[in-house]
């Protein structure tokens, strides 16, 4: 089966660092994506990992361990506008292109002053 788990909600303070974890069990794997989704809006791409290790993009970093079926998204220097839902998604293995995304439930992050 396909299963992607992430915490339902988290709260953090403006200026702090927060780590959102994601574990997955999928029949295929061709990359793990993190998306940000504000209420009522489309998911927007944040980061992508296909190999083990850390990918850094400004205030956002994402880590992947394929052997553990584990990823995390690290957000630094939190801002109020970072309050949103963070979606972990695994791309199904369909050769090297065009695979569907399997999404987790999303983690609702609230940033407090």
Which residue is listed with tokens 């987790």?
Answer: 104
Q: How far is CA 51 from the centre of its chain?
A: 15
Interface with other proteins, residue 10, by CB under 8 A: no
- Encoded one letter per residue, x for contact with other proteins by CB under 8 A and - for no contact, window 45-84 reads x--x-x----------------------------------
End-to-end CA distance of the chain: 40
Torsion of CA 58, 50, 68, 26, to 10 degrees: 120
Interface with other proteins, residue 22, by CB under 8 A: no
Cβ proximity of 3 and 59 under 8 Å = no
The CB-of-63 to other proteins minimum distance in angstroms stands at 17
Q: Which stretch binds other proteins (CB under 8 A): 10-18, 29-37, 60-68, 74-82?
A: 29-37
Calpha distance 18→79 (Å, rounded): 11
Nearer to other proteins, 24 or 78 (CB): 24
Interface with other proteins (CB under 8 A): 31, 33, 35, 40-45, 48, 50, 87, 89, 92, 94, 96-98, 100-106
């Amino acid at each position: 089966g396909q299963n992607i788990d992430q915490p339902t909600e988290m709260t953090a303070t403006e200026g702090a660092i927060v780590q959102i974890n994601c574990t997955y069990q999928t029949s295929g794997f061709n990359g793990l994506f993190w998306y940000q989704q504000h209420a009522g809006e489309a998911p927007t791409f944040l980061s992508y990992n296909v190999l083990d290790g850390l990918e850094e993009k400004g205030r956002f970093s994402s880590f992947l361990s394929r052997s553990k079926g584990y990823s995390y998204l690290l957000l630094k220097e939190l801002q109020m506008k970072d309050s949103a839902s963070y979606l972990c998604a695994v791309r199904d293995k369909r050769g090297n292109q065009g695979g569907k995304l399997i999404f987790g439930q999303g983690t609702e992050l609230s940033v407090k002053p």
